[in-house]
Structure 1
Amino acid sequence: MAWIRRVRTASGATAVQIAESVGGRRRIVRHVGSAHDETELGLLMDRARKLLEDDAQGQLDLGLSLPVTRAAMVPAPTQTLFDEPATVPARRPVVAAPQVLRTSSAVLYDALAGVYTDLGLDALEDEVFRDLVIARVVEPTSLLDVDRVLADLGRTSASLSTRKRTLGRCQDGAYRDQIAELCFQHARASGDVSLCLYDVTTLHFEAAEEDALRKVGYSKERRVDPQIIVGLLVDRHGFPLEIGCWEGNKAETHTIVPIIEAFAARHGITDLVVVADAGMLSAANLRALDEAGHTFIVGSKTAKAPIDLISHFRWHGDAFTDGQIIDTVTPKVGKNTDNDPALRREPAWDPEQHPSSWRAVWSYSAKRFARDNKTLTAQENRARAAIEGDKPARTPRFVKTQSDGLVLDEAALARARRLAGLKGFVTNIPATALPAAEVIDSYRDLWHVEQTFRMSKSDLRARPLFARRRDSIEAHLTIVFTALAIARTVQARTGLSLRRFLRQIRPLRSATIEANGAVQTLPPALSSSDQAVLNDLKNGAT
């Protein structure tokens, strides 16, 4: 027995399907289409009912009135013995009513395919890969469900086996290397690639067992599922340039040097400025980048402030003014005497004079101080509650254990409040080449890579991963990497977030109709705002 079912998709549309029960198991017989409003849903439901009544193509009345020639009444002929017999006019066939064959978001597909072409990705000469990437941008879903998304976009999807072979071709054909080269060329033509931003994230798996790649490791979300470490390198505007993955239990600090070296070797770059957060701050990383001829700007840890600002604290105490910047030095390892507290003036870093130190820039913000102080007060309250008998899931900060029980670590709390409002940066760029204010401004661009990661996790839903083999995982990351390039380009050209862009353009439906024996596709009516967005997307390539 067959019936009609309506399913809510992840994008908010309503999919209309015809299902049947075979041997007690449900099977989807036909996907009629996806509706984005009540009008489309009514058309699709009517079409589905007609398909159930008759397996032939049903008819949907569009309200189009086509002229139909009707047969005229002819009086009976009068015939004499010598007259020729009168010819009775033949009845003309009645023209069938027009019908909707299908609707689709072809405008959206064409717009994204245009961006794909503008980035030069057509050089891969793989239409199936292109469709997988565009489907990932529009509505991330499983490889099995891609045909539904592409059908809604007006495309006929390749078979599942062909899609699987495309993932293998993606690895065997070194697609990621080609895409990285094309992305670099686009970024270089659009701006400056001498400064790149780097960060890492984790992607977890719906799997119970570990293997050589998927490992249980440190998770910022405190998950215990197997995961991988993903590193992403972007330009100062967040456009992706390089992506890599490592075992889930690998330390984040061990990822930056391999991906930077691969990027520099691929494009022959010798003077790259790398910006990363404090998680990448390790003596080995900074030394390796410096020896390779690259410069860096890395966030410093607040705990290093008493060492770096020892002269300031001696001569000025812990008083700071809003926006104050202190340009000084920081030891590469441990402590040294490059910053002499007996001297009132902060040392100006010079690679020849201070071979055992890096340049350190510290800034103070009253707004940051208020935020840090609020956080410290909340942490102090949690610590006091734990001391008084509250049993939290883990021991709060500023709680230490003594022989007589838990006590508040007042010295650590006072030290933290003294450093509230401070933010430090470590670099190997001399002040003569880059003033302290520009060091801070360059680091502030780091939010672009964080935004790109959020896009990959939310809009493109790069996780959780269901792939098991490493080549499939790598192919998935290549598709996500390419989709990120398209998404960032859409944002840069239209000024809209990817989600807002899709919400505005996807409901524009093209209709393919059959009338008077002819099949024709009618484009949707575009409002002025819709046309402006599409023009921005197209003209941004020039």
Structure 2
Amino acid sequence: MRRVRTASGAVAVQVVRKHRGQRTILAHVGSAHTDAQLGILLERARRMAAEDQGVLDIEVAARTQSVDGIADWRAGALIPATTRPKGAPAPPGRTTSTHSRLLYDIIGVVYDWLGFDEVDDGVFRELVIARIVEPTSKVDAARVLTDLGADTVSYRTIQRHLVKINTGKYRDAIAGKCFTHAADRGGLSLLLYDVTTLYFEAENEDDLRKVGYSRERRIDPQIVIGLLVDRTGFPLEIGCFEGNTAESTTLVPIITAFAERHDLTDTPMVVAADAGMLWASNLTALDEAGLGFIVGSRSVKVPIDLASHFHWNGDVFTDRQIIDTVTPRHANSTVNDIAHRAEPVWNPDDHQGAWRAIWAYSAKRARRDQKTLYAQETRARAVVADDIAARLRGTPRPPPYDGAGDCFIEFGRGEVGKVHANFLSGAKPTGVLEGPSAALAAEKRDFAPQRRERWFGLP
């Protein structure tokens, strides 16, 4: 490392190599005007010099350097008039702080590139970046922003800006930019929809956070979130529903809101979903909204939809055979006339009480179903055998499942009823409705804490 005084009085730091009396400057690190700048440049030069060669870590402390200690050729003297003592050994370096500023800048560039900067709210932009990096609470967002090297604001400021989200119509502005971005890439030909739940560590329910169906068997209050995205997963529309809302009832509101927001009411749209997502009421709502749909049917409807085929051809099918027919919109109606051998061709004017149904037969799927049914039959025989063996031995028989159970039903306005259901009492499940009443509403409020105590022993 070479330190030399420049014409301006600064101290230049260079990395040089001397071979056979000839000096070669490998890199000019920079010029220092203060002792602090000189120390930084010397450390940088030291790392550059040691980059391509092995260095033994023998912990020899370097001495601090001073700008005044470098000879100044402008004074016209080889030896300074006053000599400065050698600097004290420099202490080892320590890290005072770290941050991920590069990550913050990249997310901010993408945020602005998508056009979200149309929402002229810097605090909202900071919260979005913090939530992308680490989904956490509003209070903890300040810590995330500090780790990113960004300026932080108080919790009161965050709360004040969040109030502007609804009054400032932030969702409309951002949804418009999302739609424009997806449309420019040609990704609107196929849209995907999914539902998830968000849980809250709250003791009591409110108008939005309610205990509902949970795949994880949780009994905490929750809300239901519906999200519509393009084929790449880019979000286009989002909606929030009460925690006890059935997932299948969230599809129509999200799609209609998306169509109305972007003036797509006259644009043909087709919804494709499985049978569990679309009920008869949903299909009717989609039809009334002018939306087409493709929905998977259930095998229990085969005897009704294919009654004409069974009457004329029996239960014989060929592999990959396709039957195009109709299916009734309501379970208590009949639209297939077995007096006609040809399957009816669906027409919206002639079949106002029916939908078009396309059935396909797969020999591979049939073999799989037969295997599954055989396994179930074998299991049932084993249960019966255990029952017979218990009677012969005089031991208690395994307790059977009686198929009975209770569930609460909310009618709105605080009214709650209870259904006493029995699934195994006859050919069809039966149910008896009790209420609604104030006593049942109070019983439902106490149900979650009681179940928590009964299952987990928690108060």
Same fold (TM over 0.5): yes
Amino acid at match of 2:145: L
Deviation at 1:296, TM superposition (A): 1.9
Partner of 1:65: 46
Which residue in the other structure is 1:272 paired with?
269
Equivalenced residue count is 333
Residues in 1 aligned to 2:107 and 2:70: alpha-carbon distance in whole angstroms: 54
In structure 1, the partner of 2:245 is 250
Match of residue 207 from structure 1: 202
Match of 1:329 in 2: 326
Which residues in structure 2 correspond to 1:158-307 (within 5 Å)?
A: 158-193=153-188, 195-269=190-264, 270=266, 271-307=268-304
CA distance in 2, matches of 1:208, 1:385: 45
1:355 paired residue among 352, 356, 359: 352
* 1:338 maps onto 2:335 in alignment: yes
CA 1:107 to 1:274, structure 2 compared with 1: closer, same or farther past 3 Å?
Answer: same
Matched AA of 1:89: T
Q: CA deviation at 1:357?
A: 0.7
Q: For 1:140 and 1:378, how far apart are their aligned partners in 2?
A: 45
> Which amino acid letter does the alignment assign opposite residue 196 of structure 1?
L
Bigger Rg, structure 1 or 2: 2
State the alpha-carbon separation in 2 of the partners of residues 272 and 232 from structure 1: 17
Q: Which amino acid aligns with 1:339?
A: N
Looking at structure 1, the residues matched to 185 and 275 of structure 2 have their Cα atoms a distance apart, in angstroms, of 29
**Offset at 1:100?**
4.5
Is contact 1:196–1:235 with CA below 8 Å preserved after alignment?
Answer: yes
TM-align CA RMSD:
4.0
Deviations 1:126-184 (A, max 9, x none): 23222322222222222222233333333233222222333222233222222222111
> Which shows bigger deviation, 327-336 or 261-270?
327-336
- Contact 2:193–2:229 under 8 Å retained in 1: yes
CA distance in 2, matches of 1:155, 1:287: 51
- Equivalent-residue separation in structure 2 for 1:257 and 1:328 (angstroms): 26
Q: 1:170 to 1:334 in 2, by over 3 A?
A: same
2:305 maps to 308
Q: Distance in 2 between matches of 1:100 and 1:299?
A: 60
Aligned-partner residue type, residue 65 of structure 1: R
Normalised TM-score (structure 1): 0.52
Q: Which residue of 1 aligns with 2:107?
A: 112
C-alpha separation in 1, matches of 2:148 and 2:131: 12
Helix, strand or coil at the partner of 2:239? strand
Give the SS at the match of 2:202.
coil
Report the AA paired with residue 84 of structure 2. Answer: R
Distance 1:199 1:319, change over 3 A: farther
SS in structure 1 of the partner of residue 257 of structure 2: helix
| C-alpha contact 1:210 1:216 (8 A) present in aligned 2 | yes
The code of the aligned residue for 2:293 comes to F
Deviation at 1:351, TM superposition (A): 0.8
Distance 1:393 1:208 in 2: 33
Aligned residues of 2:403 and 2:425 also touching (Cα < 8 A): no
The amino acid that maps onto 2:289 is A
Gaps of 5+ in 1: 1-58, 74-85, 404-408, 413-542
Q: Distance in 2 between matches of 1:128 and 1:184?
A: 24
Q: Secondary structure at the match of 2:84?
A: coil
Equivalent position to 1:152, from 147, 155, 159: 147
The 3-state SS of whatever aligns with 1:107 is helix
How far does the alpha carbon of each residue in 1:49-100 deviate from its partner, in whole angstroms, 9 at most, with x for none?
xxxxxxxxxx9x9786399469599xxxxxxxxxxxx983252895967664
Q: Residues 344, 179 of structure 1: CA spacing in aligned structure 2 closer, same or farther, 3 A cutoff? A: same
Separation in structure 2 between the aligned mates of residue 371 and residue 136 of structure 1, nearest angstrom: 46
TM-score (norm 2): 0.60
| Structure 2: tracts of 5 or more residues without a match | 1-39, 48-63, 72-78, 388-396, 405-421, 430-459
For the 8 Å contact 2:311–2:338, the answer to whether it is kept is yes
Cα gap change, 1:293 to 1:110, in 2 (>3 Å)? same
Deviations 1:230-276 (A, max 9, x none): 22222344332211122222344433332222222111112222233
The answer to whether the aligner puts 1:122 opposite 2:117 as a matched pair is: yes
